[in-house]
Structure 1
């Protein structure tokens, strides 16, 4: 879809178990680094709303730190 570079969070450090993101033709793409063939696509406004919710802690109940 695009040759833009995948980015991962600096919180992932050298860990290969991370979510990567890139923009491709006006679409935001997300994938897990160890499952690169599975890509989720969304549009920028929906991704921005998701990030805003994540920053506000709306999804904290879904994860266990250190698991």
Structure 2
């Protein structure tokens, strides 16, 4: 099994309240730093589409 290390945004600094991401056998895995036992898995194309939506502000209404 090919695993990469968990990565988080450099904008997070030393905070443990961020989303971490890694790739395992071609699958993208996401988790929250403070809830590391819950892992969401998706495909690279779906993850790319999700990131595009974030950058476009598609989910901004969920932060209020």
Q: Return the TM-score normalized by structure 1.
A: 0.88
Q: Where do 4+ consecutive residues of structure 1 move more than 6 Å?
A: none
Separation in structure 2 between the aligned mates of residue 30 and residue 53 of structure 1, nearest angstrom:
16
Unaligned 5+ runs, structure 1: none
**Count of residue correspondences:** 64
1:1-67 alignment runs, 5 A limit:
2-64=2-64
Give the superposed CA RMSD: 1.2
Q: Return the TM-score normalized by structure 2.
A: 0.91
